[in-house]
A and B are shown apart, each in its own frame.
Chain A
Amino acid sequence: MSCVRTTSLLLVVLALAACGSDKRAGPAPSPDLLPFEGLEGTLDIAGGTAHIPVMEEAAKRIMTAFPRIRITVGGGGSGIGIQKVGEGLIDIGNAGRPVKAKEQAKFELTSYPFAIDGVAVVVHPSNSVRELTTQQARDAFAGKITNWKDLGGADAEIHLYGRDEASGTRAVFWKKLLAKGAVATSANVVKSNGAMKTAISKDEHGLGYMSIGRIDDTLAAVGLDGVAATQETATDGTYVVTRRLFMNTRGKPSELAQAFIDYIGSPEGRAIVAAQGYIPLATP
């Protein structure tokens, strides 16, 4: 659903952008946008839900400067991104995890890492627990600790929230924090970073995890072993539950896809990545 919403929103933006810039074709685009000069056509992007804000902002700027380029941004999750781009249904497939060997054998994808993102344990803002040890987090997600009072909080049941099987966020969280350990089967499963935000921001006793880049003040990040879960600690390497965000193309990208990938790696693109809460990588 969120991908449908995003796409339709984008189409509106696109329509507005198209009629807007026809009138004032004047303002010179920033130098980083110049490679799009003379290009036209459609670029379809989908996949990882952590990527969406960055992709949308970049798409908006490109389409505003060059109305003959149409860019659609969808969600679906990392698995969908890789699958769709592999089957040639979209031009760029986003994933919050590296392409698996099995997938690579089938699709022959080229990966472009462009950002680092942390995955943080999140709770409701009213929750007093803002600090856990790795062991406590593992026990809580495994269902061994079931009450907030055992984590230093109020006497209330812990409501666990996890992500779906195809989630890249889930993959990194499970590997790096839970050390591939057990996750309680009673945990609720939500389908996107956005849905996780909605769930935890409405549940005072919720415990979940999501992309640091998409955390805002409707929920609170929980520090691990004395290290706060922020963009800064993820950058300097003290916060370890991090991953790279990838764009993937099948074989060699088209001219337009290449220009888009280059733009995400340009100074302006990296500024967008940083502004959306992620840590930009030097060159994708």
Chain B
Amino acid sequence: MSPTSGRTRGERTAELLLAGAAAVSAAAVLGILVFLAILAAPAWQGAAHVFTWDWRPFHGHYGILPMVVGSLLLALTALLLALPVAIGIAAFAHGLGPRRLARIVLAAVHAMTGIPTIVYAFVSAMLLVPFVREVFVHGSGYSLLSAALVLSVLILPTIVLVVHAHWHSMGKELERTCAALGIPRGRAVLRVLLPLSRRGLLTAAVLGFARALGDTMIALLLSGNAAQVPGSALDGFRTLTAHIALVVATDTQDAAYASIFAAGLILLLVAAAASLTARRLGAGNGRTEAARAAPR
């Protein structure tokens, strides 16, 4: 087979395969959405029941709104805790810190992405929860505070790496301009890079939020799973993901069981909205090469 024709045929095959893979992925996502909507039907019929504030399944109350609030509250709190730290780390790695140390910090952040969420959750349940219980006196330690602290550590590398990639893509050009103007590297990061990258930071935040929203183990092991809207950071609460994990074991004929499909659908829609927002933000025009900063 001649090299040229071989390449084109190979290319065509690859193209076909990739298009097929993309179609299958898209169909799978759509399929899940349709499937969830159909399976949640019993819950929709009783939508008045599902969208209430009272989850007491053994007394006939199947409201999952406290879990919707729990999920959003936890993801937002974790994001608020993680975002400033992540930007700080990215800035350190990008010129505020000494080069060698910066490389080590980045390597550590990369390594953090590989730690399974159950490891964070289990270690924290053994160490952080008793600590929170003793320090704050009120509550059992299974709380918004514990879960948000640990979850913020989980999403930290996601945010750092997206911000880092964004700044990296803004590139040499900007760096040289600053250098030519005699702006020190550190000040360039603070005064030039940071103000110019609002869009990249937003993208990073949205991705971090989606990651936080989707996590199950940390919420399941650290939130206490109480089906209530937490009155303080020291109260227990329940997320949609933990709710699914807990209720999936009940018998399938129960009205409680139908609520997990409603929970799944809400999660999927919120995650989809977050990811679409991230895409829009990432793919915007922009003076810089912001487009390249959006990883997906």
A interface vs B, CB < 8 Å?
1, 76-77, 79-80, 82-83, 100, 102-103, 106, 157, 159-161, 164-166, 174, 180, 182-183, 185-191, 202-203, 205-206
Additional A-B contact list (12), CB under 8 Å, known A165-B247, A166-B251, A189-B227: A82-B251, A83-B251, A100-B251, A106-B252, A159-B133, A165-B250, A166-B250, A182-B56, A185-B228, A191-B246, A202-B130, A205-B140
Pick from A77, A103, A186: contact of B253, CB below 8 A: A103
B interface vs A, CB < 8 Å?
55-59, 118, 126, 129-130, 133, 137-142, 220, 224-228, 235-236, 238, 245-247, 249-254, 256
A76 and B248 alpha carbons, distance in the complex (Å): 10
A222 to chain B, nearest CB (A): 18
Kindly list chain B residues whose C-beta atoms are within 8 Å of the C-beta of A183: 56
Chain B CB within 10 Å, residue with most, of A79, A161, A206 = A79
A206 touches B246 (CB 8 A): no
Interface of A is mostly: mixed
B247 touches A157 (CB 8 A): no
A122 to chain B, nearest CB (A): 15
A191 and B126 alpha carbons, distance in the complex (Å): 16
Contact flag A188-B249 (CB < 8 Å), given A1-B118, A159-B139, A165-B57:
no
Q: Looking across the interface, which residue of chain A has its beta carbon closest to that of B56?
A: A185
A152 and B263 alpha carbons, distance in the complex (Å): 42
A189 and B245 alpha carbons, distance in the complex (Å): 12
A186 touches B251 (CB 8 A): no
Q: Looking across the interface, which residue of chain A has its beta carbon closest to that of B247?
A: A165
A185 touches B139 (CB 8 A): no
Kindly list chain A residues whose C-beta atoms are within 8 Å of the C-beta of B220: 191
A172 to chain B, nearest CB (A): 13
A164 touches B249 (CB 8 A): yes
A103 and B250 alpha carbons, distance in the complex (Å): 11
B249 touches A186 (CB 8 A): no
Kindly list chain A residues whose C-beta atoms are within 8 Å of the C-beta of B225: 164, 188-190
Chain A CB within 10 Å, residue with most, of B57, B137, B140, B142 = B140
Kindly list chain B residues whose C-beta atoms are within 8 Å of the C-beta of A160: 140
Kindly list chain A residues whose C-beta atoms are within 8 Å of the C-beta of B236: 186-188
A79 touches B251 (CB 8 A): yes
Kindly list chain B residues whose C-beta atoms are within 8 Å of the C-beta of A188: 140, 142, 224-226, 236
B226 touches A189 (CB 8 A): yes
Q: Looking across the interface, which residue of chain B has its beta carbon closest to that of A180?
A: B58
Pick from A83, A103, A203: contact of B133, CB below 8 A: A203
Kindly list chain A residues whose C-beta atoms are within 8 Å of the C-beta of B228: 185-186
A187 touches B253 (CB 8 A): no
B253 touches A102 (CB 8 A): yes
Kindly list chain A residues whose C-beta atoms are within 8 Å of the C-beta of B250: 79, 165-166
A185 touches B226 (CB 8 A): yes
Kindly list chain B residues whose C-beta atoms are within 8 Å of the C-beta of A106: 252-253
A165 touches B246 (CB 8 A): yes
Kindly list chain B residues whose C-beta atoms are within 8 Å of the C-beta of A103: 251, 253
